[in-house]
Copies of this chain bind each other. A is one copy, B any other.
Amino acid sequence: MKTQDRIIHAALALFNQHGEPNITTNHIAADLGISPGNLYYHFRNKEAIIHSIFDQYAQDLALAFDPSQPQEDTQALLQHYLDATFSLMWRYRFFYANLPDILRRDEALQHKYLDAQQQLQTNLMTILQHYSHAGWLNLSESGLAAVGETLKQVASSWIFYQSAQAPQTHIHAGVIYKGVLQMLALLHPLTSSQGQTAIASLMDHYQQQLVRQDIRALDTLN
């Protein structure tokens, strides 16, 4: 791997584990066994590293919604959406745990972030409209928009919320399934009887993922 990519990789891992404000350029260099001078040869400063990590995130996000993918049914579409957004948020969680301060320092990044959010929201609304047209949701057009807005907030602040609720050590990948379940629980009382079956089956699916994840987490402790 190129040194530039190794820096991005190491920085992401350290940021996720210790929180971005607690990791300096020296920490990153030391972790890789390279000199600080070398690191500064590849990146102008720490902000540039964060910016590059975000670019990679945005690229991963675009790939996850590759328009060349085959048409799927509504149900699979929602599951794909939830899987992709939450697993990516988890992989880049340092960012979502610290959004206000990171974005304040880099105006260009703020705009890129809002663009990405807008794309995610558009995709979500498309899926909600599928559900609505299939008669699975009992909501007016404006009700749909309101739910979409709430879902967007729940998703994009989930990592933040969990980080504040639990001491850092207790956070593991299982929290992403909890986040998905939280969103589905929000939709559940708004569905018609057919829709309820669809949402309930998704909730079952993620409940199982959560249990498996918890078992894996226990294994890690041993």
Measured CB to CB, the residues of A under 8 A from B are: 19, 21-22, 97-101, 103-104, 107, 110, 113-114, 117, 138-139, 143, 146-147, 149-150, 153-154, 156-158, 160-161, 163-165, 167-168, 182, 185-186, 188-190
Contacts and interface: CB of A to CB of B under 8 A. Distances in A.
**Counting chain B CB atoms within 10 Å of each CB, which of A138, A147, A150 scores highest?**
A150
Contacts of A22: 101
Given A150-B182, A189-B139, A189-B143, A160 B104 contact: no
Contacts of A160: 99-100, 157, 160
How many identical subunits does the complex contain?
A: 2
Contacts of A21: 21, 101
A110 to B, nearest CB: 6
B156 A154 contact: no
B149 A182 contact: yes
Nearest to A143: B189
DSSP majority for the A interface? Answer: helix
A138 B149 CA distance: 22
A161 B157 contact: yes
A1 B124 CA distance: 52
| Shortest beta-carbon contacts, A-B, top 9 | A157-B157, A100-B163, A99-B164, A146-B185, A97-B100, A157-B161, A153-B161, A160-B160, A150-B186
A138 B190 CA distance: 11
14 contacts: A21-B21, A22-B101, A99-B160, A99-B163, A100-B164, A143-B189, A150-B154, A150-B182, A150-B185, A153-B154, A154-B154, A157-B161, A186-B186, A189-B190
